[in-house]
Chain A
Amino acid sequence: MPSPLDLRRRIRSVDNTRQITRAMQLVAASRMRRAQEAVQALRPYATHIASLVERLVRATGEERLPVLLRPRPIARTAYLVLTTNRGLAGPLNSNIVRTAAREVDAAPPGVEVSLVVVGRKGHVALRGLYDLTAVFTDIGDQPSVRDITPLTTLLVDGFASGEFDEVRMIYPEFVNTLTQRPTVVRLLPVVLPEEFESTRDEDIIFEPDPHVVLEAIVPRFVEMTVYEAFLELAASEQSARMVAMRAATDNATELIESLRLAYNKLRQSRITSEIIDIAAGASALADA
């Protein structure tokens, strides 16, 4: 049976933990808002570049498409796996790692696999299981496009030089605060926009000419896609952490309540027995 002092100590310790988890919850909430704003801020650029790529593809014609747009037989697939650097984000990273492992294990026989991992959590979880081609753990949780350039350059150059024939990206899609869905998309060769119709556009002048502009814009498009995934990762990380920390705070509150109940019961029973003692002593004196 714990002493009242032990109980008081435990209450204080749980309360300290609760203060930390609550602070983390609030910080995550405000960072999540910022991350969502960044996702919104990318929208105009993303829509424009996608429609531009589509029109350029149409103007270039299928025979002259840049190598980044051309599918080819797959001998080696590279997976880009996005995870966070920090933990305390609920099941976010383990879900991504599990999805990655399932993807990699499901690769058709004869296809070699390279893994490019972003984030310390993914690195720690995957390094024992697979050979990692490259690891990036120095990209912050509010990256700029320039921060991810070394990563996209690695992938684009690797694909262009034939080092791998396909690049797939695995990241947590931010659905809403409660849901982050592990998502697998093909990054390279670039998935062409749906409506690949041959209706002729108004006569657009392309300077220098369509296929040169297309060659220049496709790496940007890939970069934008990766950047978008980073923003989704950031929003997912913060919201997962917010939810996890709220759960921790609630648990701490519950724990404190039950500890306090136990403490009060104990205190009450001590007081009661003291009163009984005193009363008994007093009545013994009165009887005498």
Chain B
Amino acid sequence: MPSLTLTVVSPEREVLRCDGVSLVLAPAIDGQIGILPRHAPLVTQLAPGTLELRRNGDVTHLSILGGFLEVSNDQVTVLTDGSERADEIDLARAESAREAAQRTLDESRHTHDDVLTTQARLALLRALARLRTVERAQRR
């Protein structure tokens, strides 16, 4: 039976390399996409969110802080600014990052500091991606 090889790389490290994957669910920029073996060649942009992979009945969740995904010949490559497996995520840190980002965002609304607003919004998205990944991993 054909299967996928999934590689997740960030500039700092190779987060994951995994053979025999039967399904990859990824947060593409305009909606969740599912990739099965023998998928047509594809390149897409990813939004911050959760990447899910199934392998022999096991499910693994990874947080993705945005990036790009490429499918070619059953090789799925994810290039991301940062990614962590659900079990690597520090929940307390992610939660406090979310609060800090939310606070900065609220404050910057008043000051109309565009750079700060953008930065805070991105930080918020990153924190949310982490938190939701843990949530999804726990729900199973």
Contact = CB atoms under 8 A, between A and B. Distances in A.
A45 B79 contact: yes
B26 to A, nearest CB: 11
A249 to B, nearest CB: 33
Contact of A45 (B10, B29, B40): B10
- Counting contact residues on chain A (CB < 8 A from B), the size range is 20 to 34
Contact of B29 (A201, A202, A208, A227): A208
Contacts of A56: 43
A206 B42 CA distance: 6
Given A207-B28, A207-B29, A208-B30, A44 B9 contact: yes
A49 interface: yes
B58 interface: no
Interface stretch (B11-19, B49-57, B91-99, B104-112): B11-19
Given A41-B13, A207-B28, A207-B29, A52 B68 contact: yes
A213 B45 contact: yes
A212 interface: yes
B41 A49 contact: no
B11 A207 contact: no
Contacts of B9: 44-45, 48
Interface string B22-40: 0000001110010000001
Contact of B42 (A207, A212, A217): A207
Interface string A73-110: 00000000000000000000000000000000000000
Interface in A206-223: 206-208, 210, 212-213, 216-217, 220
B45 A212 contact: yes
Interface in A37-54: 38, 41-42, 44-46, 48-49, 52
B42 A204 contact: yes
A55 B28 CA distance: 19
Interface centre among B11, B14, B72, B82 (most CB of A within 10 A): B11
Nearest to A208: B30
A207 B45 contact: yes
Nearest to B41: A204
Contact of B44 (A41, A45, A48, A207): A207
Contacts of B3: none
A49 B81 contact: no
Contact of A41 (B12, B28, B40, B81): B12
Contacts of B82: 145-146
A152 B7 CA distance: 26
A201 B73 CA distance: 13
A44 B12 contact: no
Contacts of B10: 45, 145
B5 interface: no
Contacts of A38: 12
Given A48-B79, A52-B79, A216 B13 contact: no
Contacts of B43: 52, 55-56, 204-207, 210, 213
25 contacts: A41-B14, A42-B11, A44-B7, A44-B9, A45-B11, A48-B79, A52-B68, A52-B79, A145-B12, A145-B81, A145-B82, A201-B41, A204-B72, A205-B40, A206-B44, A207-B28, A207-B29, A207-B33, A208-B45, A210-B43, A213-B44, A213-B68, A220-B67, A220-B68, A224-B11
Given A46-B11, A213-B43, A213-B45, 6 more contacts: A202-B41, A204-B41, A206-B44, A207-B28, A207-B44, A227-B11
Interface of B: 7, 9-14, 28-30, 33, 40-45, 67-68, 70, 72, 77, 79, 81-82
> Which 3 pairs show the lowest CB-CB distances between chains A and B?
A207-B44, A204-B41, A45-B9
Interface of A: 38, 41-42, 44-46, 48-49, 52, 55-56, 144-146, 201-208, 210, 212-213, 216-217, 220, 224, 227
